[in-house]
Each structure stands twice: as C-alpha cells, then as structure tokens.
Structure 1
C-alpha cells in the first residue's frame, strides 16, 4: 500500500513537471514561502532539540544499551561503517558546496556584516561549519538510532512506522502506519532528488571546465540518464558488494583530493582557518542554532540555514534507515558519538581545506572566485583547483569523485526506498529498487527543468515539513521504549540476584 500510494503521488508530480513546469515552479515557490514564513522557527528549534536529544542518549543512563541483542557484535569494521554512512550522508553536497558556500557567504554574509571584509570571511567559514557539522548528523543520528533500536533490539520491521509501536501499539499496522511510511518515502524521494540534481549540476560544471561542454539542461539530463544506468547496475549487486565497495572508493578519493589541496594550497592559512573557525563555531553554537531575523525581515536564514535543515530532514528517513541497517551491534553511546563527531570533524577539515583555499585566492591573490561562483555556483570548485599544480588532473579527479558519490547516494537511496516500500524487507527485490531508481531520477530531471537549483532547494524545504513532526514523535516513542527496556533489564537483574541468593542459601544450608 505504501509503495502504490507513494508511486501514484510521485508519478502525478512527474507528469505535472513534464507538462506544466511553470505552474509547478510557481506552486512550489508559494509553498516554499509559506513554509519559510510559518515554520522557520520550528525547523530551528526541532533541529537543536535533536542535537540535545542525541547527546542525552549518548551520555545518559541508556548509553550502554546495544542496538541489538546483548551478545551482538558490529557487522562492519569502524572504517567501512564510517565510509558507508558518510558517502550516503552528504558526499555530493560537500564537493558541491566545499568552495562555493564560503565564497557565497563572503560576498553576502549574514548578521549585517559588510561583504568582502575580513569579518565576512570569518563568518562565512563559521556558518559553513554550522551547516555541515553537528546539527545534520544529529538529525540522522536520531532517526537511525530509533530505527536500529526498534529493528535489532525489539525485533520489529525496519520501517519508520515501527518506531511508533511503543506509542501507538498495533495501530502502526493500519492507516496511521501507512501515512507515516508514505510521508517518509516522499520526503526521501525529494531529498535524494535534490542531491542528485546538485550532483548533475556539478558533474556538468566539471565537464564544462574539462572539455568546454555547455552546462545546460540537456547536458544535465543526459548526465542523470547515464548515471542512473550505473547506479541501477550497482543497486542490483547487493549491499555488501556495490555500496560497500563504492563507499570505500569514495572515502579514498575524497581523502586523496583533500590531502593534495592541503599540501599544494596555502597549508598554514588552512590550518589557521580550521583552528579559528572551530573555536568560533563552538563559541556561537547556541546563537547560530536559534538565529532568525523577525526584526529585519532578512532572507539569508531562509535561503541557507532553513534550506539546509529542511534538506537534512528530507534526507533523514533515507540516511537514517541506511545507517541503522549497517549499525547493528553498536552501543547507543558508541553509535551517537561515531555518527555525530567523526563525519562532523571530516566536514570541518573539508571546508577548511577547500573553502580556506578559495578565500585565500580571493582575498590575497585577488582571483575573483566569489563573483564567478555567484554567476555559476558549479564553477567555484574547478576554478579553485585550476590555480593549483596539476589543476586539470585534480579537476578530473574531483569530477570522478562527484560521479562515485552520485552513484553511491542514489544506490543507497534505491535500497532504502525498497525497504520502506516492502514492509521493511532488509533485502528488497531488484525489481522494486529499479522502479525507485528510475522515479528518483525522473524527479531530479523535473526539478532541474522547472527551476534549476532554486527548484531543488524549494522541493526539499516543502517536503521536509511533515517529516520534521514525525521525527519529534520518534524521539518520544523511543524514550518510552528505552524506559520499558530499562525496567525489563532491572527486573531480569533482580530475578538473577534472587536466584543467586536462593543458591547461596541452599549452599549454606547444605
């Protein structure tokens, strides 16, 4: 039922986008403005709450509970686990925005700061850390932990609706569960389609830089078509082959690219930028988490922070389901700290290396990267790499990295959508994965044609509103489950102690 309802809604959207793209763009824009105006506060408060909730679970009394039976051990090594969750979590986005976001904030910073100033550069890096740091991974951590717990500890199906069993009981098997899982599927499709659209834009930008190909809609659609075939081939090979191999490849390519830029670029400047920005990020974490502009009516928060929070929330059912699937056997504390800290630290280093190099070239070598990025956001990365030794080869490596991230994200998404629409089957059929793979690519094409980058951002924010409410409900439900688990473990411990006392009494009597 979830599969058919979701496919019907998404098919209607695809048809509307194909035959009436202008009307679709206009309607989506109205919904976007409504969401930003009326739910911006909810995005900020709920996302900050997810961070606090994750830390509470990690350092509270439930931290030692395993996501699985007490005797279960992790399925994957820590390095492979990290590579898989990172590649699924935000690979394409890091490459797309690594240079472009700090340069964009440098030209048009928030908080009333003058663009192009040293203070604008400091704030641009701080907000890049903020948008790609603890908050998005707290969203993923919350959803993934709830799913892993309900699936491996309580033995229920790997569905978003299953998490609500402690609150709703058997009603999750009826209409309520269908609505929850359908919203999860729709949010996932739009969130992933946004990322695939960004990936197509960036690949087209790389081909334009390398071969002079025009970065136009027809090229972007062709890229999506070719890569769709590649990730469908990968999707049909299974989790332990396609996704695992691609994830490890992604991590190796990303680290090689990052180390090269760190060494070939302004190394001391990058390390100084990392240190300064990390301090500013930690110092201003609460302020940035709850920052809105009701008195100045500025649009910066809506265009950046709220877009990102909505994007992460839309990705949460996909990334959460995938991370849960590969995290069996880890304790809650190990899981939360691993998901929160390791990817966040990698993102901080990534932005320091690429964003710091871009800002150094802009500010001290007077290469107009920021204006170039404002005209074409996909050009920022390649124009930056062009200034380094072996620039053309490094740009080719970056393009290859984007392609492998694209394939991994789409591959993981088809796997998760197959699970969500097959009653939580941990190994959905190839037929179901292929159907979802084609539909998520069609959504990306429709969004690109109807609105380009703006259309992609709009879709994410609109699709995320209902699912943000669902994540709040998941937090309440998992707390109920953990309390029940704690009572059960205390009761078991009490019974064991009583049996031990009986045994000791018998031994004394004898």
Structure 2
C-alpha cells in the first residue's frame, strides 16, 4: 500500500520512513490543534519531570561529548579523512564557515545576543551576587558564552563527525541509523534502522520548528516596533507562511544555487551590523569588554561545564542550560548531516578544530560586543533594557530595544529583521534538503516536491507550536524541546562508542594511517530500483553485505558480476 502511494505521488524515497515520519507529524499537529489542553499538560508535565530528575544528565552529557571530541582530534585518528585518503575539501574555508554558521546557530545568536546578557545581569544565577552590578555583568557574560560557545558546537560536532565518517569513509546512507552500523550491522537497513530514522526525522523537525518559532517571535517584535503590526497569532502565521514559501524555493534550487548564496549574503550583513554597533558605540569599551569576557569565559569554563546548582537548587538551570542543551540536540542530526556534507575531504582533526573553534570565536566576538553594549546602556546610559526584557518579559524585542539607543534606529532595526529572516530561511531550506536525504538514504537529486514537503512541514509545526497551544508560545517551545531532546542524548553515548569502534577497525596501528576503502551502500529500495533499471555500477554494494567482516580484504574493490550479485541479493531477501 505504501509503495503504491509512494509511486502515485512520484516520490523517490523510503516509503516506510517517509510516511512513518509524516504520520507522526500529522498526529502531533492534529492533537495540538484539537486536544490543546491535553497536549499542553503532556509536554509541560514531561518537561517538568525531565528537568527535575535528569537535568544533571543533560549537563554531564555535553561535557563528556566535548572531552571525547578533544581526544579524537588529538589522537592518531585525527589524521583520517572524511572520504578517501587522498580526497580534499570541496569548499573554501570562508564558504565552509559561512554555511555551517548560517545553518547552525545564526538565528539564536540574533535572538539571544541582547536578551541573555540582560537577563543574567538583572537576575544573577549565583547566590550572593548583587543584581545589575559589575560582578553580575561578568557572571552574565561567562554564562552566556558557556551557552553559545564550545558546548553548543559540541552538540553539533559529534553527530556531524559521525555522519561524515560513516557517509564518506564507509559510504553508508546519510541516515542517523548508519552511525550505528558497528552495533547493528545490516539491521540498519531493517526495522531497527527504520525506527531510529523515523524518530530522528520527527525529533529533528520539531527541534528546527522550535528555532523557527523563536525567529518568528523576534521578526514579529521588530515589525511591531517599526510598522505597528500586532504581535498576534495571525501575524506570526503570516510571517511563517511567507518565509516558508521563500525557503521552499531555495530548497528546490539546491545547495549551490540556493543555500550557499543565502548563507554567504547573510553572514556579510550580520558582520555589517556587528561593525556598526562597534563603530557607532563606545568602541574602546566594546573591544576591551570583548577581550575581558573571553577571559572570564575561559577561566570559569571548568567549573561551569559540570555545575548543577546542587546546594542552592534554585531551578535556574532548568529554564536556561537544560533547555539549551535539549533544544540544540534535537536539531543536531540536521545540522550534523549538513555540516558533514559541506566538510567532505577534511581530516578529522581539521574538522573538529574548525567546527568547534571558529564558530566559538565568532560567538565570543558577537556576544562580547553586544553584551558590552548592553552594560554600557544600563550602567552609563539611559537604561531601560532590564525593564523591557526582564520586567515586561519582552525577550523577542530585546535586540530592537538595544538598537533604539544607537543612530539610525529604524534602519538598523530593519536590517536586524532582514538578518533574522535570512537566517530563518537558510535554516528551513537546509533542513528540508537534509531531512529529505535522511528519509531517502542518498544524496542524489530528489524530486523537488519531495524536498519542499519537509520545509512546509517545519513551517506547519512551528505555526502550531506558537499559535495552537494554550500556553504562551515561548513556554510551549521550551517544553517540547526539553522532552524531545532526551532520547537524542542517550543516542549520543552510543554514537561515541560506534564512532570509536569504526575508527579502530579501519585505522592502522602504527606509522602513517591507511584506512580501508569502502564501496557505497545504497538503501534497499534504491538498490532494487537501480537493479531494475540497469543503473547499478561497480561502485555500490548490496545493502545486506557486511563490509569489513573479513580481516585482510574487508572491502575488495574488485566487484563480482552485477547480475549475479543482484540475483544473490534477491535470493537472500526472499526475492525472485
């Protein structure tokens, strides 16, 4: 039945994974719309239980992931390449950084650049610190950079490294299940693999929708200040609809003609806004603050990465750190595959250092300048940011409130809206492309309407989370993110084991590392389709063939006769 529906819709994907994930998303949307109170109670209760009982697990997990990545990068495995041994990167360093940054945390940098430093400045998380003091400012920046520095990019880097290794070193399908091949073997193509991939797709879609929801709130807040547009459900649905249309067009155009162009453009405009704040504000103070906060972050990092607020038990971390880690890891599969795709050919050492260090450095500069500007307004200027963000709870409008204290406030607010919108679009279109490849299991060009489906699904779920729940939009987004993120953290530990096992299997023990060569593995349905159309090549292998099982010639490049191989594959799987 699913196969007939799949063919009738002219799709080219895995029917079980595609329709399974679609069914869960539709069920979620219908439940949220027609059983609002029950859905609210479920997510609020589940999130409350997770935060109270397992918040420590989230905090421990990210720090363990960071230590593991450091070990891998500095070990002998660091010389392995994500691809063949002689492969080199496709994209320049500048283009690479722009794409991974725009698809990564561009939207949340805009959302929290002002809101988080103001919040911690007014309400310090540590006992004995006077609110709105110089000590509160230092602590606020340490916490902010902890949230958006190495730890956030660790959550992206671990799955990205695993995807890159299994996709381009072992030539497995671009699916979450492929990362567990050392554990599951050929079962990654069976029921266990399909279950993992369906859950990964649903969790990723929900996590991206949370980010889109935050971006929508910020765009709505900016439009309200500039043009008096109401901050209402109708306005937010209109914003999501408009951006979804543009993101769908970009996804249909692909990476090079769509996402890459938008990413490069957006990073340039964002840097332009940063330079404007630096030049038009107290330049020397902003530069001094940027350097000082970097030092405060580095000096406090060893304590913060394992801090659980054990004795005071104020619950502060539940609404901040735990929410961040849970939310970020839900959309890490999408960002992970995307980063892996644009990082092919780089060594593991280059990859880990690049993905961790450069975005973290940019975050230090970004938050250092905006955060210092916040303190200047509050301590030396007219103030008002604390009242707006903390007193009135207007977190989405924090950025525009700050820009109101600088020259050309209206123009700069318009630029800020443009930046958030472009980050919004690049997150949606790249997520659509990646989720489509996760469902289909290969990187080849897929039908455009198939890719567009995922973009539209993200927009619909974001609209539902914001407007069809009984709680405030931001609270609903936080609850969903915290609950959905839990299984992803559990999988993270298996991911580390699987990646280390694969590298140990493939790497030499001494001297220059020479790794085994792996033929490309296609998903079963795509292998069958190519067999029927005569499109199989010597570069692919049957899905149930366990590469690497023989110690000496684990994956011989000499390929058996294709017709005989197809016949044997079908006999093993009950075919003709």
State TM-score, norm by structure 2: 0.84
Name 1:105's counterpart in structure 2.
Answer: 120
Q: Deviations over 1:137-169 (max 9, x none)?
A: 112111111111111111111111111112221
Name 1:226's counterpart in structure 2.
Answer: 242
- Shift in alpha-carbon separation, 1:487–1:208, aligned structure 2, 3 A: same
Q: Answer yes or no: is 1:239 the counterpart of 2:245.
A: no
Name 1:15's counterpart in structure 2.
Answer: 30
C-alpha separation in 1, matches of 2:115 and 2:27: 34
State how 1:287-366 maps to structure 2 within 5 Å. 287-366=303-382
1:485 to 506, 513, 521: 506
**Can you give the 5+ residue segments of structure 1 that lack an aligned partner in the other structure?**
496-510
Name 2:13's counterpart in structure 1.
Answer: none
Q: Deviations over 1:170-205 (max 9, x none)?
A: 121112211221221122111100110011101101
- Shift in alpha-carbon separation, 1:474–1:18, aligned structure 2, 3 A: same
C-alpha separation in 1, matches of 2:514 and 2:384: 67
Q: Answer yes or no: is 1:33 the counterpart of 2:48.
A: yes
C-alpha separation in 1, matches of 2:171 and 2:307: 40
Q: Answer yes or no: is 1:382 the counterpart of 2:400.
A: yes
Name 1:144's counterpart in structure 2.
Answer: 160
C-alpha separation in 2, matches of 1:435 and 1:209: 33
C-alpha separation in 2, matches of 1:466 and 1:426: 29
Q: Deviations over 1:471-494 (max 9, x none)?
A: 211110010111011138879979
Name 1:135's counterpart in structure 2.
Answer: 151
Alpha-carbon shift at residue 425 of structure 1 (Å): 3.5
1:400 to 415, 418, 428: 418
**Can you give the 5+ residue segments of structure 2 that lack an aligned partner in the other structure?**
1-15, 517-576
Moved more, 13-22 or 199-208: 13-22
Name 1:50's counterpart in structure 2.
Answer: 65
Q: Deviations over 1:300-346 (max 9, x none)?
A: 10100011111111121010010011110001111111100100111
Name 2:302's counterpart in structure 1.
Answer: 286
RMSD (CA atoms): 1.7
State how 1:61-80 maps to structure 2 within 5 Å. 61-80=76-95
- Shift in alpha-carbon separation, 1:71–1:491, aligned structure 2, 3 A: closer
Moved more, 265-274 or 436-445: 265-274
Q: Which structure is higher in helix share?
A: 1
Q: Answer yes or no: is 1:421 the counterpart of 2:442.
A: no
Name 1:476's counterpart in structure 2.
Answer: 497
Contact 1:102 1:128 in 2 (8 A): yes
Alpha-carbon shift at residue 379 of structure 1 (Å): 1.6
Alpha-carbon shift at residue 446 of structure 1 (Å): 1.2
Contact 1:232 1:434 in 2 (8 A): yes
Contact 2:252 2:448 in 1 (8 A): yes
Alpha-carbon shift at residue 438 of structure 1 (Å): 1.4
Q: Deviations over 1:356-406 (max 9, x none)?
A: 112210121132111101221122111111111111111111111111100
- Runs of 4+ deviating beyond 3 Å: 424-428, 487-495
C-alpha separation in 1, matches of 2:243 and 2:355: 28
Count the aligned residue pairs: 495
State how 1:118-197 maps to structure 2 within 5 Å. 118-197=134-213
Alpha-carbon shift at residue 107 of structure 1 (Å): 1.2
Higher relative contact order (CA 8 A, sep 6+): 1
Moved more, 340-349 or 483-492: 483-492
**3-state DSSP class of the match of 2:79?**
coil
Contact 1:180 1:470 in 2 (8 A): no
Alpha-carbon shift at residue 241 of structure 1 (Å): 0.8
